[in-house]
Amino acid sequence: MIKSELVQKLADENPDLFHRDIERIVSIFFDEISGALVRGDRVELRGFGAFSVKHRPARVGRNPRTGEPVEIEEKYSPFFKAGKEIRERLNVPSDSREA
């Protein structure tokens, strides 16, 4: 599912709301999560999961073509850990899985 599909689903389920308002709410939601991660904060959505940032230290890697050592700079990567409820929903038999 992409962002526009999420907006459309919310619009379909909430006909009393304007499409542009739903788009704005969804954008603000994702902007706030992104902003928190940029600040180094953890974002927890109970029952869904938690977003955080992992630090990847600098290291020496290898060029896959030549095999030569290559310096890889440190970086920060977004990380998502699924919550208990979503893990349980994903691990039920496929014939009884909810949409």
Q: Can you give the residue ranges of every domain in the chain?
A: 1-41, 42-94
pLDDT score recorded for residue 98: 61
The CATH homologous superfamily to which domain 42-94 belongs is IHF-like DNA-binding proteins (4.10.520.10)
pLDDT in tens, the chain (99 residues): 999 999 999 999 999 999 999 999 999 999 999 999 999 999 999 989 999 999 999 999 999 999 999 999 999 999 999 999 999 999 987 766 565
pLDDT score recorded for residue 97: 59
* The one-letter amino acid at 63: N
pLDDT score recorded for residue 92: 87
Buried b (16+ CB within 10 A) or exposed e, 29-46: eeeeeeeebeeeeebeee
